[in-house]
Structure 1
């Protein structure tokens, strides 16, 4: 068989965030890269969809049909070779349930009768170049054409469908820490020029049945009306300690075997301050997180304050799915080859050396390479018999107002809802406004995430019921207690393969590397660490995603100039 890409060095299968970073790093170091994906969109489980695209994704994952495939490729396998088959069915998404409640609609499946193509609208999203050695922050103003003096009208499902291209709905809900590994990598590699970002404007807490704003910066603390002067002093003193806790081990070493929640009770803090610090600043588990973990998380939160705004977090305009695409653009700039709708049938292993030497694609052609990077979902059950997966519970809602209304409608909010039952996980809620370019005007896009204990709906619907009105036709009896109406919702479970060691996979050659899907953490540190670790194993002498050269410093090869 004639090999189409004879000089390819690494092959990446699936375009999730870790794979995209690795591909960019390899291309930047001068390697030939082929990046293939059986899907027809970028990002894998890190993707963002328009509304119609998400409906198609839902339909695809609810049907889960197997396709009969021709296996003529088996003739290409030589006597001294063996194969590792690739999974024909992606099992990373389970228990998909969707419904819509918008006024003036019939209660039916949101995907019924709708065969819209799956598209990632992000590919047409404008990218912004910035001369600053940092990130471009998006403007929060709403375009004049979108401003209306009329009374707000009830949003209908048909309006959501009509305005579907204004939605960019993430499969995974995350934020970028202002001093996190991903921000540092975006700046260092200059990939930040391909995207714009918006500050998360407020941190919220859910306490005693109410949503309230948490003061976290020094200015917020002293301007807060919900804290007494004594509480303000208590909070500032404790946060100052957290910033330099390593220099005062005598203050916490007696509690190293205790939980952070227990440690907080020993400090001079009121119950409300303990709640704010545990759930909205440290954002750690009340029962499982140690004192040191809580102090580390609090310090990280505080160190990120003030770099780009009054919260530690940034959100990419047009959705989290922009980030993998940004690294794919960088890879393409340095010569990477991209193929969508390109399935892989198997890995070809040389029996003598035990190394993977090629893949066979759905066209029946062999593609040789030195290294192979695959997403966990590509591996068949026979390879994953020893793997124990965790699950993430996800919900995405379209609502008609914010969980905490203020003078400004354009708020990006982060809310942690603590568990009612001990031992259950807290739920992270991220609420996005229309200026994030993820939803239409007069709506909010709300993401709920937690580690799974049951199906996503069982895990998350109790929190949805606390925060939102699930029956838009029913007016609240007390206007002061009126909750945002849920106009549309989807629940699903996503497989969390982070933390799985390579040794857990049976029979994988040493030059095949496995990337995990998204984890349940709020940030992206896991994906960045994984990408850097794999890259350094392949190319230990190369720098990981160095800054791009200045155009005037590039020296072209004479053969290239003549060509």
Structure 2
């Protein structure tokens, strides 16, 4: 929408299109609030965004360039008696730092015919197109042309088996080159969807619950994370998670299988024995259960996903959460959105727009107008100088000027690496694998690393490649923290030997501010101005969803948070009076799904009983 067309009054003005801000926008619009949602960037989702390869190159270039100093304009002419101006920052250079890029792919296609492209001499033009591609209009349209508009049945175990996806990469139908060049990465750059953050969705986590409750899940498609892997003794191994996986595992002996099943069953409810270990390390509790090194490694690093000094109560809580999420959609607890995590904020933005929210990219706020007697913001001034009255303001924390921030602790950072590789860390017959890999500290003082490996079936990379995300808490720069893991698990020029490891074609290292360490409360800001922090280092999305719900309840304490939006097919039009309703549609579907799940559980129980090992003599 053009800036000159903006109305002069809104209920809620939101600056920043990250996940928390987008959820707040959708929740407020859904209950009838007039919402204006702005972002200074040319793309949605802020630090939660997904980029094409060419778009990521442009993003890198923008963060490597020094921003010119801001020119502070005088808006005192907009003040009335008793008003005060609070100028906002329009840049946040501190959230991304230490960018390092390495390209190991050849410049030209070595196995192409004469029509193969040469070096990427048109990269600048393609990068400009990539920025346009992620703009307000093309961001949704370019992907919606490829995907079906039906939502994947988020409640089903294998949604891709029920609904054909003509745009998805076929398993074996397309020939793959032995070597993929940088020119090909650039040429096919639009087929990549590369996330700035690396997370997955717990099947019973707060984000999935919200997607189902609000009916926003119909705007996206999802795939099961098919494997939980771990790196141990120089090898990548599959972790048995579900009961069926445990019984089918060849890594565990029969005795280990029984011990693991017995332990997992005992973890479901808290006992006096668990309480006795409160405050003591979880690894100590596991040792006392006489589980053996194999099971201790799997439980600590891949199921609880904690460190050796994590307290027992926290380790058990993480284990229970993992177990609760198993079986809802498959043999792992996780889902991943097709086309990348950047889809999720955009889904909530679409819901807000459906219910009247107004969106402007490349548009920002310059300052807040504070009513001093009430200590509340009564209006904002946007980047075009328009004064907009409002009742509440929600800000991405990067817009808050330094002199109004409360810094309780030194800022924390997350180390990130993004790799494009030529194969999987654990090859299999299926090219549909989506894997979560846990890498314990490889040496004293090194951080534990979490890896998410995406296949072309997720529509995040081209056939013949895999997209790998590595994440850890920052100890040093991202390169210092993560390159030792990359060198060991993948083939790079720094690797001592090639072996059978995947080769890295291209990689990016950078540090990102950890949103968990931000202090959204207590800043020197008006009482009706609320802050949203950026992504945190956790695997799930709970922090952002809790933050969004908390802000919504402060704005509208009497309203329901994200009530379900009607499905178009559920709307019944009455020819007599023109009214519409959604009576019972969602409830009936939920009951049907529950019945289907009960039948599946009964069938699985019969199979598992047949597969159970004999009783221990």
Please give the residue correspondences for 1:401-416 in structure 2 after superposition, counting only pairs within 5 Å. 401-416=423-438
1:416 and 1:111 mapped to 2: Cα distance?
A: 39
Report the Cα offset of residue 73 of structure 1: 3.5
* Correspondence list, 1:49-88, <5 A: 49-66=51-68, 68-69=70-71, 71-88=73-90
| Residues 1:235 and 2:260 are matched in the alignment | yes
Q: Using the TM superposition, name which of 114-123 and 364-373 deviates more.
A: 114-123
Partner of residue 213, structure 2: 188
Number of aligned residues:
546
Is 1:292 matched up with 2:320? no
Q: CA deviation at 1:386?
A: 2.5
Native 8 Å contact 1:476 1:482 kept in 2: no
Q: CA deviation at 1:67?
A: 5.1
Match of 1:393 in 2: 415
Aligned: 1:282 with 2:304: yes
Alignment counterpart, residue 474 of structure 2, candidates 448, 452, 466: 452
Post-superposition CA distance 1:88-134 (Å, at most 9, x none) = 3212111111121103469x999985743424375222353249583
Is 1:512 paired with 2:524?
no
Q: 1:99: which partner in 2?
A: 102
1:154 to 2:174 alignment: no
Q: Secondary structure at the match of 2:405?
A: coil
Deviation for aligned residue 1:483: 1.0
SS at match of 2:482: helix
Unaligned runs of 5+ in 1: 558-563
Partners of 2:178 and 2:304 in 1: CA distance: 39
State the 1:548 CA deviation. 2.0
Alpha-carbon separation, structure 2, partners of 1:430 and 1:522: 10
Shift of the 268–468 alpha-carbon distance from structure 1 to 2, 3 Å rule, reads same
- Write out aligned runs for 1:100-179 (5 A): 100-104=103-107, 115-116=127-128, 117-118=130-131, 119-120=133-134, 123=140, 124-126=142-144, 128-130=149-151, 134=155, 137-138=159-160, 147-148=172-173, 150=175, 152-179=177-204
Instruction: Kindly indicate whether the alpha-carbon contact (under 8 Å) linking 1:3 and 1:365 is maintained by their aligned counterparts in 2.
Output: no
Q: Give the drift of 1:348.
A: 1.3
Distance 2:315 2:122 in 1: 43
Distance 1:346 1:542, change over 3 A: same
In structure 2, stretches of 5+ residues that fail to align are 110-118, 580-617
CA distance in 2, matches of 1:68, 1:109: 34
Number of the residue aligned with 1:42: 44
Task: Classify 1:257/1:393 alpha carbon distance in 2 versus 1 (closer, same or farther; 3 Å).
Answer: same
Q: Tell me whether 1:307 sits opposite 2:328 in the alignment.
A: yes
Match of 1:492 in 2: 510
Q: Is the 8 A contact 2:420 2:467 kept in 1?
A: yes
1-side partners of 2:573 and 2:97: how far apart?
50
SS at match of 1:95: strand
Decide whether the 8 Å contact of 2:43 with 2:139 is kept in 1.
Answer: no
Q: Give, in whole Å, the separation in 1 of the partners of 2:320 and 2:170.
A: 43
Quote the residue 2:572 is aligned against: 552
In the alignment, structure 1 residue 6 sits paired with structure 2 residue 28: no
What's 2:613 paired with?
Answer: none
Shift of 1:366: 0.9
**Is residue 260 of structure 1 aligned with residue 282 of structure 2?**
yes
Asked whether 1:201 is paired with 2:201, we answer: no
Structure 1 residue 10, shift from structure 2 partner: 0.6
- In 1, Cα distance between the equivalents of 2:5 and 2:429? 62
CA contact (8 A) 1:56 1:111 kept: no
305, 330, 333: which one aligns with 2:351: 330
Shift of 1:269: 0.4
Q: Matches of 1:62 and 1:499 in 2, distance apart? A: 24
Using the TM superposition, give the Cα deviation of residue 359 of structure 1 relative to its aligned residue in structure 2, in angstroms. Answer: 1.2
Q: Secondary structure at the match of 1:99?
A: strand
SS of aligned partner of 1:490? strand
